[in-house]
Amino acid sequence: MRAVLVLNGPNLSRLGTREPDVYGAETLEDLAAMCRKAGAELGLDVDVRQTDDEAELVGWLHEAADKRLPVVLNPAAFTHYSYALRDAIAQRTAPLIEVHISNPAAREEFRHTSVVAAVATGTIAGFGLRSYELALRAVADLTA
Protein backbone atom coordinates (compact mmCIF):
# COMPACT_ATOMS: atom_id res chain seq x y z
CA MET A 1 0.00 0.00 0.00
CA ARG A 2 1.20 3.49 -0.84
CA ALA A 3 1.45 5.80 2.18
CA VAL A 4 -0.19 9.22 1.97
CA LEU A 5 -0.43 12.04 4.50
CA VAL A 6 -3.72 13.90 4.96
CA LEU A 7 -2.74 17.10 6.73
CA ASN A 8 -5.17 19.59 8.25
CA GLY A 9 -4.43 23.10 9.44
CA PRO A 10 -5.87 25.38 12.11
CA ASN A 11 -9.37 25.06 13.52
CA LEU A 12 -10.16 21.83 11.70
CA SER A 13 -10.17 20.04 15.05
CA ARG A 14 -13.40 22.02 15.59
CA LEU A 15 -15.26 20.32 12.75
CA GLY A 16 -18.78 19.44 13.82
CA THR A 17 -19.10 22.48 16.07
CA ARG A 18 -17.44 25.27 14.06
CA GLU A 19 -19.87 26.94 11.66
CA PRO A 20 -21.79 23.77 10.76
CA ASP A 21 -23.66 25.70 8.06
CA VAL A 22 -20.30 26.11 6.28
CA TYR A 23 -18.34 23.01 7.34
CA GLY A 24 -21.07 20.48 8.13
CA ALA A 25 -21.85 18.40 11.19
CA GLU A 26 -19.16 15.75 10.79
CA THR A 27 -16.19 15.80 13.15
CA LEU A 28 -12.46 15.48 12.50
CA GLU A 29 -12.77 11.88 13.66
CA ASP A 30 -15.48 11.30 11.03
CA LEU A 31 -13.21 12.87 8.43
CA ALA A 32 -10.28 10.67 9.46
CA ALA A 33 -12.41 7.51 9.31
CA MET A 34 -13.74 8.46 5.88
CA CYS A 35 -10.22 9.14 4.58
CA ARG A 36 -8.86 5.85 5.92
CA LYS A 37 -11.79 3.92 4.39
CA ALA A 38 -11.51 5.65 1.00
CA GLY A 39 -7.74 5.21 1.09
CA ALA A 40 -7.98 1.49 1.81
CA GLU A 41 -10.34 1.08 -1.16
CA LEU A 42 -7.76 2.88 -3.34
CA GLY A 43 -4.75 0.95 -2.02
CA LEU A 44 -3.52 3.88 0.08
CA ASP A 45 -2.35 3.79 3.69
CA VAL A 46 -3.73 7.10 5.00
CA ASP A 47 -2.22 8.95 7.96
CA VAL A 48 -4.55 11.80 9.02
CA ARG A 49 -3.08 14.62 11.11
CA GLN A 50 -4.30 18.03 12.34
CA THR A 51 -2.47 20.95 13.92
CA ASP A 52 -3.09 24.57 14.75
CA ASP A 53 0.69 25.16 14.67
CA GLU A 54 2.23 26.46 11.44
CA ALA A 55 5.70 25.17 12.34
CA GLU A 56 4.39 21.66 12.96
CA LEU A 57 2.60 21.67 9.60
CA VAL A 58 5.79 22.83 7.85
CA GLY A 59 7.67 20.01 9.60
CA TRP A 60 5.15 17.44 8.34
CA LEU A 61 5.56 18.78 4.79
CA HIS A 62 9.35 18.43 5.12
CA GLU A 63 8.81 14.84 6.31
CA ALA A 64 6.63 14.16 3.26
CA ALA A 65 9.25 15.64 0.91
CA ASP A 66 12.06 13.64 2.51
CA LYS A 67 10.06 10.38 2.30
CA ARG A 68 8.55 11.16 -1.13
CA LEU A 69 5.05 10.87 0.31
CA PRO A 70 2.02 12.26 -1.49
CA VAL A 71 -0.04 14.73 0.53
CA VAL A 72 -3.65 15.84 0.73
CA LEU A 73 -3.50 19.21 2.46
CA ASN A 74 -6.20 21.44 3.88
CA PRO A 75 -4.11 24.44 4.93
CA ALA A 76 -7.21 26.18 6.33
CA ALA A 77 -6.48 29.82 7.22
CA PHE A 78 -2.79 29.34 6.34
CA THR A 79 -3.98 29.11 2.71
CA HIS A 80 -4.23 32.86 2.46
CA TYR A 81 -0.99 34.12 3.99
CA SER A 82 1.54 31.44 4.93
CA TYR A 83 4.56 31.85 2.72
CA ALA A 84 6.41 29.43 5.02
CA LEU A 85 3.84 26.78 4.10
CA ARG A 86 4.09 27.73 0.42
CA ASP A 87 7.87 27.35 0.50
CA ALA A 88 7.61 23.96 2.22
CA ILE A 89 5.11 22.75 -0.40
CA ALA A 90 7.44 23.93 -3.18
CA GLN A 91 9.93 21.31 -1.94
CA ARG A 92 7.48 18.46 -2.50
CA THR A 93 8.72 15.29 -4.17
CA ALA A 94 5.32 13.68 -4.77
CA PRO A 95 1.83 14.92 -5.65
CA LEU A 96 0.23 17.37 -3.24
CA ILE A 97 -3.47 18.14 -3.55
CA GLU A 98 -4.81 21.26 -1.81
CA VAL A 99 -8.34 20.67 -0.46
CA HIS A 100 -11.03 22.81 1.08
CA ILE A 101 -14.36 21.74 2.52
CA SER A 102 -16.05 24.96 1.44
CA ASN A 103 -15.41 26.92 -1.74
CA PRO A 104 -13.10 29.80 -0.72
CA ALA A 105 -13.87 31.70 -3.94
CA ALA A 106 -17.53 31.90 -2.90
CA ARG A 107 -16.75 33.29 0.54
CA GLU A 108 -15.24 36.46 2.00
CA GLU A 109 -12.85 38.41 -0.23
CA PHE A 110 -9.78 37.61 1.89
CA ARG A 111 -10.35 33.89 1.24
CA HIS A 112 -10.15 34.28 -2.54
CA THR A 113 -6.35 34.13 -2.66
CA SER A 114 -4.38 30.95 -2.05
CA VAL A 115 -0.64 31.45 -1.69
CA VAL A 116 -0.14 27.68 -1.83
CA ALA A 117 -2.16 26.81 -4.97
CA ALA A 118 0.66 27.67 -7.38
CA VAL A 119 2.94 25.02 -5.86
CA ALA A 120 0.29 22.32 -5.36
CA THR A 121 -0.38 19.67 -7.97
CA GLY A 122 -4.03 20.73 -7.94
CA THR A 123 -6.88 22.04 -5.81
CA ILE A 124 -10.25 20.52 -4.93
CA ALA A 125 -12.74 22.72 -3.08
CA GLY A 126 -16.39 23.07 -2.26
CA PHE A 127 -17.51 19.45 -2.01
CA GLY A 128 -17.64 19.15 1.77
CA LEU A 129 -15.70 16.23 3.18
CA ARG A 130 -16.00 14.61 -0.24
CA SER A 131 -13.23 17.01 -1.33
CA TYR A 132 -10.83 14.72 0.58
CA GLU A 133 -12.10 11.58 -1.13
CA LEU A 134 -11.71 13.24 -4.54
CA ALA A 135 -8.17 14.28 -3.58
CA LEU A 136 -7.30 10.75 -2.49
CA ARG A 137 -8.60 9.46 -5.83
CA ALA A 138 -6.35 11.99 -7.58
CA VAL A 139 -3.35 10.82 -5.51
CA ALA A 140 -4.11 7.17 -6.36
CA ASP A 141 -4.30 8.01 -10.06
CA LEU A 142 -1.16 10.15 -10.03
CA THR A 143 0.93 7.56 -8.15
CA ALA A 144 -0.26 4.44 -9.99
Q: The domain that contains 90 carries what CATH number? A: 3.40.50.9100
Count Cα neighbours of 55 within 13 Å in the Cβ-side half-sphere: 0
pLDDT at 25: 72
Domain extent, residue 9, equals: 2-142
Task: Report pTM.
Answer: 0.92
DSSP secondary structure letter of residue 12: G
pLDDT at 83: 97
Residues with pLDDT less than 50, the chain: none
pLDDT at 28: 93
pLDDT at 22: 64
Q: How many structural domains are present in the chain?
A: 1
pLDDT at 121: 98
- Asked if residues 95 and 70 have their Cβ atoms less than 8 Å apart, the reply is yes
- 86 belongs to an annotated ligand binding site: no
- 8 belongs to an annotated ligand binding site: no
pLDDT at 111: 72
Q: Catalytic residue numbers?
A: 23, 100
